Each structure stands twice: as C-alpha cells, then as structure tokens.
Chain A
Amino acid sequence: MDLTRLTAAEMSAKLAAKEISATELTQAHLDRIQSVDGQIHAFLYVAADQALSQAGAVDARRAAGEDLPALAGVPVAVKDLYATKGMPTTCGSRILEGWHPPYDATIVERLKDNCAIILGKTNMDEFAMGSSTENSAYGPSHNPWDLSKIPGGSSGGSSASVAAFEAPLALGSDTGGSIRQPAAVCGIVGTKPTYGGSSRYGVVAFASSLDTPGPFGRTVLDTALLHEAMSGHDPMDSTSINAPVPPVVAAARQANIEGMRIGVVTDLSGDGYQPGVLSRFAEAVELLESLGAKVTELSCPHFKYALPAYYLIAPSECSSNLARFDAMRYGLRVSDDGSRDAEEVMSLTREQGFGDEVKRRIILGAYALSSGYYDAYYGKAQQVRTLIIRDFDVAFDQVDVLVSPVTPTTAFGIGERADDPMAMYLADLCTIPSDLAGNAAISVPCGLAEEDGLPVGLQVMAPAMADDRLYRVAAAAEAAFMARWGQPILSGAKGLSA
C-alpha cells in the first residue's frame, strides 16, 4: 500500500487503529518528496529529522495509550511565511535567506498541539506577491498535472506538494486568492477562512487587512480537518475573532445542500474567461441544482472595481509591512564594508534583497499613501471596499452562498505571463472580492477543461463566520463529481514520471 495515496482522514483512522505508525507515514512522505520534488520543487526546506523525531514522539504517546487528536501523526507542509522555530523562514525572498525565527506562528503551535507532523516549508511567490510562484527568489514550483505549467500562487508550493502526494495537507495564506487559485489549478481543495477566523500571529504580513491563513487538502473533509485544527481565537492577534470555530468538519460530513439557496454571480464570467472554465462551472451549477439547491443568478455590480481597489490597498499595506526588512536586525545585509552609513546599507540591501514584483508593489503602495494622493487612491479604494462589502450583504440577504469560477483560466505556462503583471493580476479576478470583504470562500475541483485537460475550480463564497456552509456545498459537489468520474480527479494528473 502506498501510504501517500491515502486521504488525511484515512491516515488518521489507520493511525488511531495502530494499523500504521506516524514514523512509517512520515517516512513514506519523505521518500515521496525525495523522489519527486526534484521535478516539482514544492519545498524550500524539508525538515526530515525534526519530522521523524516528532513522528517518533507521537508513536510513543500512542503506544502509551494516550488519546490523541485527529491530526496526530498526519504530515503537513507549511508555506514558508509561517514563522517556524528551528526551521528557516524565507517568504520566498533573498532578503530573509537564512533567517531562523525564534518563535512559532500560533497556527504552527496549534499544529504541534494537535501532534501533526511538520514536513517542511513550501515555495511561494516572494512575500506572497504573485499567482504562479515565479516570483520566488528560489525558482518556480511546477504543476503536477503538467510540469511546464504554474502550480498557482502565491501558495503554489503548498498546492503542488498536496497534488503531488508529497503531503496530504498543507498550510497556505490567501490575500487576493493565494490559496484558492493554486488549489483550482492543481485540482485540490483550498479554503480562505473568514478573516480573523485563523490567527495571523507569526504569518509574515503582506497586506494585514487581507492576509488569511488557510488549509489545503485533496478532499473536502481533509481540508475541514486542518481548517478546524488551525482555527480559533488568538489573543496575540487583535483582529482575531473571539467566537467558536464554525463546525466545518461536521458540515463536510453532512454534505447535504437540499433546499440551500445558491447565487451565481453573473459579474464573474464572460469575456476573458476560458471556455473550458465556463463550461465546467456551468456543469457544477447544474449539479448543485440537481442535488436540491435553489439556484438563482444575481449581480454584484461593484465587483468589477475589486481588482483596482485591491491593487491599491494591498500594495499600500505591503509598502509599510515590508519596511522592516532593512538589514539592521536580521536577514540579508549588503555592502556593510564600513564605508557606508546605515541608510545606504538599508537601501542597497533592499535593492538586492527584493525581487521586481515586490519592489513594484512597494513603490505603488508608497505612492498611493503619499500626502496629496492618499484620498484619491488609498482612501478611494477603501470606499470601493465598503461598496463590495455591501454587494455581499445584499446578496447574502437573498442566498446562503455565492458561486463562481475560482480563476478565469486553467494553469498557464511558466514564463507565459512573467513579463505582463496585468495578465498575472487577472488570475485573482474572482477571488479578490472575498478577501476585500473578509468573508469565507473555498475552491473545490469541478472537472477538467476540454481545451487543455487541466483542472478547473468551483468557488463557493459564504458570509463571515459561516465557513461551515462552504464545506456543506463543496462536500456535496465533491461526492456527486466522484460518483460521476468514478475516481478522484488527481488520478488524471499525469505530469509526474514517478
């Protein structure tokens, strides 16, 4: 039996039944990484020794008869912007090369409390800015469906690792779509929880008011298991919501959408969308209707301004958040030869340490915040944000969840959009509204586009703190698709020779 092919829920059951050990399971994943990551490049750091010693400790506790959490012994890959004690944390940037945080992010602590095994740190677009991992200072990751394609981004290392069976679960973060878009193009499940539902403490900030840590899995239930384990109030994060975690695991098991009101966002379709994406999406809507949901079409008229508003708000916040990378206290330091003052060293370090996309956004944001322009740019973008929140409010008065495609196209080729930032930004067209509104959204596979045979994702959006609704819809859709396809969608992923 190839242990890496199991779902996380199956792993959990077999571990609990002592049919397999955490050490065996961890070793199987380390072996898988060893054999395929040369092609995928999902990992920036593989924590083999720590993972095996963690697994050994879990096995010992289990042997001693302890009652352990569901994720005990289940491996998880962690996006490289979560602070991890004893492991490097680079955020895909040169400027943090070699930095070892002295502390764990709250969510990493929670994984450890849940006895999950941390396999290592995954590749990402530098500081989470990008949709392809091509902005990583350490080279792009590759899509297991077709190695010449991008695995999505910014959490592309995480999505690729799960799709390539290098890890059953992974942590990502979503600021403009950085979990959902990679999940969609890799044919796996990814959730952006409600903003404030998962702690940001220790997750290196890109845009504070948008950044949302979230889970990846190959199945809806697996994703829910990680979602539940990582979530909940954190007193170290002021924006963390002090309320019970929505019952996402129960919802994933329920998988019943009889009578649920589902709204199709008409604004998220049309020109610029790949035909195969639209046809799979249309099928998914029909499927949901056939499962007893009441489907209506509705318009969110301000969604068309979401992308420009996002590209003012996110860069503005990033220009301030990334100011701390100045060579004074940690990370890269360039040209400190005694002949230059601190300001020059800061400037030269930032010049060499940051990639083009990061610099582009810092400059954009600094401009948008500057005196005399603030009202016209940042201020106006915040007003648009309010209008988008209102669009959602109006919509959620009429329906329980909204649906749309996750991204307008399937995975594009590595290098294809690298020199065209606008084309790259369009990958997040459908995902950005939920980030601006701070509500919850999921990406679940809904088939392969006929043109290229690559996966397409269905996006489900729910009101803040109604994350459980996402799992009800996604699990129902997943079960129906599985029945139709006869096998998991990933069985069709032929990119890997292994």
Chain B
Amino acid sequence: MTSVLDRYEPVIGLETHVELGTRTKMFCGCTTTFGAEPNSQTCPVCLGLPGSLPVVNEKSIEYAIKIGLALNCSIASWCRFARKNYFYPDMPKNFQISQYDEPLCTDGYLDVTVEGQRVRVGIERVHLEEDTGKSLHVGGATGRIHGADYSLVDYNRAGIPLVEIVTKPVEGTGALASEVARAYVTELRDVLRSLNVSDVRMEEGSMRCDVNTSLSVLGSGVWGTRTETKNVNSLRSVQRAVQSEMERQAEVLDAGQRIIQETRHFNEETGTTTSGRSKEEAQDYRYFPEPDLVPVAPDPAWVEQIRATLPEAPSRRKVRLRVEWNVSDLDMDALTNAEALDLVESTVAAGASPADARKWWLGELSRRANEGNVALEALAITPEQVARVAALVTAGTLNDKLARQVFDAVLAGEGTPDEVVAARGLAVVSDDAPLLAAIDEAIAASPDVVAKIREGKTAAAGVLVGAVMKTTRGKADPARVRALITDRLA
C-alpha cells in the first residue's frame, strides 16, 4: 500500500442509493412493507400497466429536501423529473423515473473525521428516483440473468422512493482514502438515521453504495480513468473495495497498461473486485423530461419549515455527548456501532448515570439482543425501565445479579421492573436478622473453613459468603454478608 502511495494519489467518489421510509410508494398508494408476499404490494401504476400515470408522493419530496438540507445543499426552486430509458424485466415501464440535469438538491458537503483529521466531502447532488423490481434468477451457475433456467420478478420494490446521493470527487486524502470512504458512508448513515427518513440497512439493501476509484500519477495533476465498484454492502466492504481497487489499479498502471472505464463487482469473500460490464459500450439512456409529471417547485417557506425541524447533526451530537458523559472516543465509537446512542441518551434523561446506562445497554442488553438476533432498540424494554433498574441498584434494593433477573422478566413480558421485583420478591435482603441465621448455619456446616479464617486466612471467608448467597438465593448483598461473617468470627 505504501508503495502505491509513493507513486499515485487516489481520487474517490461515492454514489449512495437510499430507500426512503415513506409509508407508500413514490408514485402510487401501494404500501412499502419490507418482506411482504411477492407482488402483493402492486397496482396498475407501479406495475406500469398501459394507461396508468404517476403522481408524486409529497412525503418523498419532503424527505429528499430534508436530506439535502442536512447535507448543506441548495434546494432547487424548480426542477423536473426525467425518464431514464433502458430495457430490463424488473423495470415495469422500461424506463425509470429519475432526475437528470435538474436535481432537487445540489452542492453541499458532509464533514467526516478520520484519525483526528477533518475531511470535507463535497456533495454534488441529491436526487429522487423510483426503485426497480427485484429479479430472482433460478438455475444456472451465477445467479445472474444469463444462464438462468428461468427468472421470477417481484414488483413490490418497484416504485419505492430512492434518493441518490452523489459526492464530488474526493482528492488529497492519500493513505486515508479508504477510511475516508468508510467514514463518509458511516456518517451519511448516521445523518439519514437521525433524520428518520430511512431505516438505512445496508444488509437489507435499503442503503446501497457504488464506489468510484481512480489513481492519478503523483504530481501529475491529471486524474486517472475511474472504475465504479458495485455490490458494496457493508461499511467494511466500502473500505476494502477502495483499498483493493487502488492496489489493482496500481498494478495495472505499473505494468504499463491502461485502466478500463468499467463497472466492477465487489466480492465479499475475497475482498477483491471483478470486471462487470464495460462503460465504453454503455447504453444511451435517452433522458428527457418526464411529461407525465408537472415540475416540482418547493415553496421556499416550506423548505424553511423543513429546515427548522432538522435534528442536531450526529457528529455535533457525538461531540456534545462525549463531553456530557465524559467518555473516551473509543467508548463513543462502541456506543455508535452498537446503535445505542439514542437509547443511552434516553436512559440518562430518565435519571440513570451515563456510566450505568452505558454499562447495561452495552453489556447485558447487547448480549440479549445478540442472542435473539434483534436490534438493540427492538428489545422489549424501554430506556425508562433500564433507568429504573439502575436506580434500584444504586439504592441497594437490587444487586447486579438480581438486576439481570429483573431484565429477564421484563424482557419476558412480566411487567415493569417494580412489578417484577414485587411479584418475584427479588429485593436484596437488607435486614440482618435472616442473614445472621444463614451465617450461623454456614459456620456450623463448615468448621474447617472457620478454622482457616481464625488462622488469618480471611480469603477463605469467600466460601461462607457463597454458601450464604446460595441459601438466600442471591438476594443478599455479598459485601454486607462478608462484614457480618467477620464480626461473627472476631
């Protein structure tokens, strides 16, 4: 890698498609639920039946404007949709309604931080378009249309609103190029999530990335030929795709050959890219303004109204929370990666200390989420309930072990933490009398241990504490038990 950078300067660019989380499709009233029975969410419009016509879903315009504003873009006062013409069985009309030379949002930026360095990634444009259907090619070796025995098409996805977010070329990042790419997509995902306009799940395809990479000979000031890598389906893959493309291109150039402008496919297993279709034989999409739709002319007052509802930028919020909670960057990253920021913030707001909130969400509750293979926020427990458990621990009513039992019960739907504590009788035994009885019983049962303690081997007291905890079924405070044992044997 170092050798690549000795001779070449990478230039990257990213095109990200994001499915908007509108309740209905872009141009008709069909619902957009993920994973519904194939072709159950269709109508004459999204099936492109002869005679049907599109009508723009206003919510999709609002969401796209929101995204544009969050990415510091200018919002067009007048723009049009365009038809992108090409034939493919998963396109009901054999053209896609998209935007061409009049995008809704233009010329913005998104700042990302990589290794303490702030990099400004320019945003060229944000535009709206409709998604296509989904093909399933049955039989054949590749799973691609060629060589398949037959193909099935599900049009549930056809017409779901997409925004395409295109960066300007990012230069001058050198060795950090691949990390900048990853940081950008991560930051973009966080921004989109904070806007509540998409569930931005790369693995479900609601956020899809194409990565453009080229190398320019160091000092030449001339950009090289770029390739476009598709099928990049995770944050890690974004980084690896840039990395591997840089290495491959350097090898080609070093051998005195030229880079072919083409689409390449990223392979998750090998971490490398393979050649797709060549852009040089690319089709002519014959774009022209969509005559079935009237121009979009968002009222400036409406745009300002949307701007006023924008949430705090995730990057700014992270800085604020890191200071408020007094945690390290590493801890902040852990919270972000676990998608626990909102949950922890709400838990703190409900009265828990930042440390406690972090501990429970990243520890016990993350473990449960992993076991159940669900998102943290999908667990059947609220931040308020977590804060209540933390408060009960702080008050000494529960210890950590009992707290875990309370979580179990709450997650199992047995009620609120207080209801569970009452119903299961889970409170810590703080009255010494029943403890003393259990201690006396333990002392009587283990004369050898008692002898060791009396010889000064105080560590042996652990055995007695364990026995007492067992008799009280964990409801005792171990520290209190130890103190009482020491008193008793003194």
Task: Give chain A's interface residues, CB within 8 Å of chain B.
Answer: 81-83, 89, 91, 96, 99, 101-103, 105, 200-205, 207-209, 235-239, 316-317, 319-320, 323-326, 328-330, 341-343, 346, 366, 369-371, 374, 378
Question: Contact at A201–B52, with CB atoms within 8 Å?
Answer: yes
| Closest chain B CB from A126 CB (angstroms) | 13
Give the chain A neighbours of B44 by CB distance below 8 A.
83, 101-103
Is there an interface contact between B93 and A370, defined as CB atoms closer than 8 Å? no
B146 interface residue (CB < 8 Å to A): yes
Name B292's closest neighbour in chain A (CB-CB): A208
B51 & A202 in contact (Cβ 8 Å cutoff): yes
User: Given the interface contacts A343-B87, A371-B286, does A101 sit within 8 Å of B94 by beta carbon?
Assistant: no
Contacting B48 at CB < 8 Å: which of A105, A324, A369? A324
B151 near A342 with CB under 8 A, answer: yes
Q: Which residues of A contact B47 (CB under 8 A)?
A: 329
Give residues 40-88 of B contacting A (CB, 8 Å): 44, 47-56, 83, 85, 87
Q: Nearest-CB distance from A110 to chain B (Å)?
A: 15
CA distance A283 to B92 in the complex (A): 52
Are B145 and A341 neighbours in the complex by a CB distance under 8 Å? yes
Q: Which of A89, A238, A343, A369 meets B85, CB within 8 Å?
A: A369
Any A CB within 8 A of the CB of B89: yes
With A102-B44, A316-B288, A326-B87 given, name 13 new contacts (CB 8 A): A81-B51, A91-B50, A101-B51, A103-B49, A205-B50, A238-B53, A238-B54, A238-B293, A320-B288, A323-B94, A329-B47, A346-B87, A369-B287
Across the interface, which residues of A come within 8 angstroms of B153, CB to CB?
Answer: 328
Which of A235, A319, A342, A366 is the one whose CB lies under 8 Å from B89? A342
Contact A203 B51 (CB under 8 A): yes
Q: Which single residue of chain A is at the shortest CB-CB distance from B47?
A: A329
Given A323-B87, A323-B94, A329-B47, A201-B53 contact (CB < 8 Å): yes
| Complex CA distance for A370 and B94, rounded to whole angstroms | 16
Q: Output the nearest chain A residue to B88 by Cβ-Cβ distance.
A: A342
Which residues of A are found within 8 Å of B447, using beta-carbon distances? none
Contact of A369 with B52 in the complex, beta carbons under 8 Å: no
Considering the complex of A and B, which 5 residue pairs feature the smallest CB-CB distances, nearest first?
A323-B94, A208-B291, A369-B286, A209-B291, A202-B51
Q: Which of A236, A317, A374 has the most B CB atoms < 10 Å from its CB?
A: A236
Q: Return the contact of B55 from the options A81, A101, A238, A374 (Cβ within 8 A).
A: A238
Contacts of B55 in A (CB 8 A): 235-238
Least CB separation from B288: chain A residue: A369
For B83, the chain A residues whose CB sits under 8 A away are 320
Q: Are A323 and B51 in contact (CB under 8 A)?
A: no
A255 to chain B, nearest CB (A): 36
Known: A326-B87, A366-B286. A320 touches B50 (CB 8 A): no
Contacts A201-B52, A342-B151 known; A378 to B288 CB distance under 8 Å?
yes
Can you give 15 contacting A-B residue pairs, CB < 8 Å? Answer: A101-B49, A103-B52, A200-B53, A204-B51, A237-B53, A238-B56, A238-B293, A323-B87, A323-B93, A323-B94, A323-B95, A324-B92, A341-B146, A342-B151, A374-B287
* Chain A: minimal CB distance from B93 (Å): 5
Please measure, in the bound complex, the distance between the C-alpha atom of A138 and the C-alpha atom of B146, giving whole angstroms: 37
* Contact A328/B85 with A201-B52, A238-B55, A238-B293 known, Cβ cut-off 8 Å: no
Residues of A contacting B294 with CB < 8 Å?
Answer: 238-239
Whether A324 contacts B286 by the Cβ 8 Å rule is: no
CA distance A316 to B83 in the complex (A): 11
B53 touches A236 (CB 8 A): yes
Complex-state Cα separation, A127 to B145, whole angstroms: 31
A91 and B287 CA atoms in complex are apart in Å by 26
Beyond A239-B292, A371-B284, is A324–B50 a contact (Cβ under 8 Å)?
yes
- State in angstroms the CA–CA spacing of A342 and B288 once bound together: 26
What distance in Å separates the Cβ of B194 from its nearest Cβ neighbour in chain A? 32
- Closest residue on chain A to residue B286 by CB atoms: A369
Q: Select from chain A the residue with minimum beta-carbon distance to B90.
A: A328
In the bound complex, residues from chain B placing their C-beta under 8 Å from that of A374 are: 286-288
Distance, CA A319 to CA B87, complexed state (A): 12
Please give, as numbers and ranges, the residues of chain B lying within 8 Å of A370 by CB-CB distance: 284, 286
CA A323 to CA B55, docked complex, whole Å: 20
Q: Are A324 and B94 in contact (CB under 8 A)?
A: yes
B51 touches A317 (CB 8 A): no
Residues from chain B with a CB closer than 8 A to the CB of A328 are: 89, 153
- Check A204 against B50 for contact (C-beta < 8 Å): yes
Which of B51, B85, B285, B287 is the one whose CB lies under 8 Å from A105?
Answer: B51
CA distance A342 to B146 in the complex (A): 9
Residues of A within 8 A of B146 (CB): 341
Least CB distance, B347 to chain A, in whole angstroms = 46
Residues facing A in B266-294 (CB within 8 A) are 284-288, 291-294
0/1 per residue, B145-172, Cβ < 8 Å to A?
A: 1100001010000000000000000000
- B107–chain A nearest beta-carbon distance, Å: 24
Shortest A341–chain B CB gap in Å is 7
Q: Given A103-B44, A238-B294, A326-B87, are A320 and B286 also a contact pair (CB < 8 Å)? A: yes
In angstroms, Cα B94 to Cα A319, docked, is 11
Collect the chain A residues with CB atoms within 8 Å of residue B54's CB.
238
Contact status B87-A83, CB under 8 Å: no
- Shortest B129–chain A CB gap in Å is 15
How far is A218 from B50 in the complex, measured between Cα atoms in Å? 30
Instruction: Determine how close the nearest CB of chain B comes to the CB of A65; give it in whole angstroms.
Output: 37
Interchain nearest-CB distance for B280 vs A (Å): 14
Structural contact, A320 and B51, CB atoms closer than 8 A: no
Residues of A within 8 A of B87 (CB): 323, 326, 343, 346
Q: With the chains together, A89 CA to B44 CA distance in Å? A: 14
Q: Which residues of chain B come closer than 8 Å to A235, judged between CB atoms? A: 55
A491 to chain B, nearest CB (A): 37
Interface core residue of B54, B83, B288, B294 (most chain A CB under 10 Å): B288
Chain A residue with Cβ nearest B153: A328
For residue A329, give the distance in angstroms from its CB to the closest CB of chain B. 7
Task: Please report the C-alpha to C-alpha distance between residue A237 and residue B56 in the assembled complex, in whole angstroms.
Answer: 10
A324 to B86, CA, bound (A): 10
Of A202, A317, A326, which contacts B291 at CB under 8 A? A317
Chain A nearest CB from B209 CB (Å) reads: 26
Closest to B294 in A: A238
Give the distance to chain B from A460, nearest Cβ to Cβ, in Å. Answer: 26
Determine the distance from Cα of A317 to Cα of B289 in the docked complex, in whole angstroms: 10
Q: In the bound complex, do residue A323 and residue B85 qualify as a contact, i.e. CB atoms below 8 Å apart?
A: yes
B58 to chain A minimum Cβ distance, whole angstroms, is: 12
Nearest CB in chain A: distance from B480 CB, A: 72
In Å, the complex CA distance between A83 and B95 comes to: 21
Q: Which residues of B contact A200 (CB under 8 A)?
A: 53
Contact A326 B50 (CB under 8 A): no
User: What is the minimal beta-carbon distance from B87 to any residue of chain A, in angstroms?
Assistant: 6
In the bound complex, residues from chain A placing their C-beta under 8 Å from that of B92 are: 324, 329
With both beta carbons as reference points, the residue of chain A lying nearest to B135 in the complex is identified as A342
B-side contacts of A326, CB under 8 Å: 87, 89, 94
